[in-house]
């Protein structure tokens, strides 16, 4: 999910300094001379688990029509109109000015939500200015020092509160849905990948035939399913590396692996007459290691004589050899006849939704407390391991960070216990899950 935040305020209150702090680079020029920033500058920002686009703007100032300052202000106004959220910065050390009050009135009349930020709050002499900012009528000012990297956790909480309580999150998700879903179809040679692609798009888009290895390049095809744009990628068959001796075949295999690396969801196509061979498991592990969502499709199901036996053998093989992603969806199809293709695509959309799922931090920490109470972590050397705090770092795939006392001492078996619990309690079947351990205190706990 992505949304846009515009930073506004009168000249020299620290807008560009905060912009550089959020994007993690010195992209915007910073100087004590006011009016250095003239054009809008955008960057990709991160505040712990929040990622968004941030816009640095020119300082708001009163200006005559047609002047350079008036054109700079028009740029700022367009930035506010296009943003989902506005940060109004004031200088807590200097206190409020008539310009602060004038532009606070202008922002209050607009429809864009506003977070009031009192910058330069690194010393005691800023407290009076911060309290004075309440008079702007924009709620509680967030104390911050962009130059000294103080107060960013409070800013993150204020932004997250507005996003979760408004339509911004759903609008950002709708924007994401306009982007095509990258769907790669992979498998061993001659399992029916190109036949499946042709049947989905409704035309002979790629060459097919009984000969193995017809497809050499990864072919991308723009397509729609249920009004959802999909970029369908047909790939070359993957054989064991030892058997791929020809230079052209090695290049085709590398092209297929690149298609997997850039895909959102990967359909692993199996042959019903020989499901889940060793090479299939190798491909599946590569998909999961790359963090892609996985759906398994068993092709040529209409030719399978013992369907119950074949499905049981496949389930046993997955349970025994591929336990790291429990609940991977398995769909039986016939690409040649077009049987159950809608069911396959519905499974793809469901896997994509799980792959993008975000869990609120509060729910994660309640869950972590219950998991620890049910099964406390071990105490190597007689010293108890403390799991203090948990948050979701990102999606695609769902990735979580746990702050603990001694990260290197927590055994892999306990991480698997937590991962299996996440799958079951938050309905995350089949998708890769990443858990990283970090040493440190709860970043949101009040300072002693």
DSSP per-residue letters across 216-282: -S-EEEEEEETTEEEEEEE------TTT--SHHHHHHHHHHHHHHHH-SEEEEEEETTS-S-HHHHH
Q: Which of 321, 355, 389 is the endpoint of a domain?
A: 355
Residues 207 and 321 in one domain: yes
pLDDT for the residue 30 = 45
Residues 103 and 128 in one domain: yes
Residues 324 and 403 in one domain: no
Residues 71 and 216 in one domain: no
Residues 329 and 371 in one domain: no
- Block mean pLDDT (10 aa), the chain, length 448: 82 87 68 46 80 79 53 71 87 88 85 89 83 86 88 86 65 61 90 89 67 56 89 76 52 73 92 86 90 94 91 89 84 94 96 93 92 91 86 88 89 93 93 87 53
Residues 233 and 375 in one domain: no
Domain boundaries, position 312? 179-355
Q: Which of 355, 380, 407 is the endpoint of a domain?
A: 355
Q: Which of 174, 208, 237 is the endpoint of a domain?
A: 174
Residues 201 and 349 in one domain: yes
* C-beta neighbour count of 250 within 10 angstroms: 12
Residues 36 and 140 in one domain: yes
Residues 209 and 65 in one domain: no
Residues 263 and 385 in one domain: no
Residues 64 and 151 in one domain: yes
Residues 183 and 156 in one domain: no
List residues bridging with 181 in a β-sheet.
Answer: 230
List residues bridging with 114 in a β-sheet.
Answer: 86
Contacts of 59 (CB under 8 A, 6+ apart): 9, 10, 11, 12, 13, 15, 34, 35, 37, 72
Task: Give the Cα separation of 85 and 22 in Å (integer).
Answer: 15
* b (16+ CB within 10 A) / e for 366-380: ebbeebeeeeebeee
């Amino acid at each position: 999910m992505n949304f846009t935040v515009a930073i506004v305020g009168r000249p020299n209150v620290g807008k560009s300094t905060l912009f550089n702090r959020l994007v993690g680079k010195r992209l915007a020029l910073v100087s004590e001379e006011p009016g250095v920033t003239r054009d809008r500058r955008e960057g990709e920002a991160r505040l712990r688990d929040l990622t968004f686009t941030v816009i640095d703007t020119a300082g708001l100032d009163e200006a005559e029509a047609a002047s350079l300052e008036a054109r700079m202000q028009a740029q700022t106004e367009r930035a506010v109109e296009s943003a989902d959220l506005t940060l109004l910065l004031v200088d807590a050390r200097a206190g409020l000015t008539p310009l602060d009050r004038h532009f606070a009135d202008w922002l209050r009349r607009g429809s864009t939500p506003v977070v009031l930020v009192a910058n330069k709050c690194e010393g005691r002499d800023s407290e009076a200015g911060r309290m004075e900012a309440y008079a702007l009528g924009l709620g509680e000012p967030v104390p911050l020092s962009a130059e000294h990297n103080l107060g960013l956790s409070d800013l993150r909480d204020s932004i997250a509160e507005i996003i979760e309580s408004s339509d911004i999150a759903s609008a950002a998700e709708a924007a994401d849905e306009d982007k095509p879903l990258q769907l790669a179809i992979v498998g061993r040679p001659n399992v029916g990948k190109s036949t499946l692609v042709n049947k989905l798009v409704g035309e002979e888009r790629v060459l097919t035939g009984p000969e193995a290895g017809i497809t050499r390049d990864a072919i991308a095809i723009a397509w729609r399913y249920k009004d959802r744009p999909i970029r369908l990628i047909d790939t070359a068959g993957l054989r064991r590396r030892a058997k791929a001796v020809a230079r052209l075949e090695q290049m085709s295999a590398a092209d297929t692996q690149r298609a997997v690396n850039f895909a959102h969801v990967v359909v692993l196509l199996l042959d019903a007459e020989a499901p889940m061979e060793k090479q299939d498991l190798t491909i599946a592990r590569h998909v999961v290691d790359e963090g892609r969502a996985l759906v398994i499709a068993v092709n040529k199901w209409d030719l399978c004589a013992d369907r119950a036996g074949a499905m049981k053998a496949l389930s046993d093989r997955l349970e025994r050899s591929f336990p790291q992603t429990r609940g991977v969806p398995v769909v039986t199809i016939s690409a040649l006849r077009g049987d159950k293709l809608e069911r396959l695509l519905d499974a793809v959309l469901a896997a994509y939704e799980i792959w993008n799922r975000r869990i609120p931090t509060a729910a994660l920490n309640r869950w972590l407390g219950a998991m620890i109470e049910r099964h406390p972590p071990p105490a190597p050397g007689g010293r108890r391991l403390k799991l203090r705090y948990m948050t979701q770092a990102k999606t695609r795939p769902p990735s979580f960070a746990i702050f603990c006392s001694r990260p290197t001492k927590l055994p892999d078996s306990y991480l698997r216990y937590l991962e299996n619990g996440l799958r079951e309690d938050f309905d995350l079947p089949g998708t890769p899950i990443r858990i990283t351990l970090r040493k440190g205190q709860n970043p949101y706990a009040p300072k002693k």
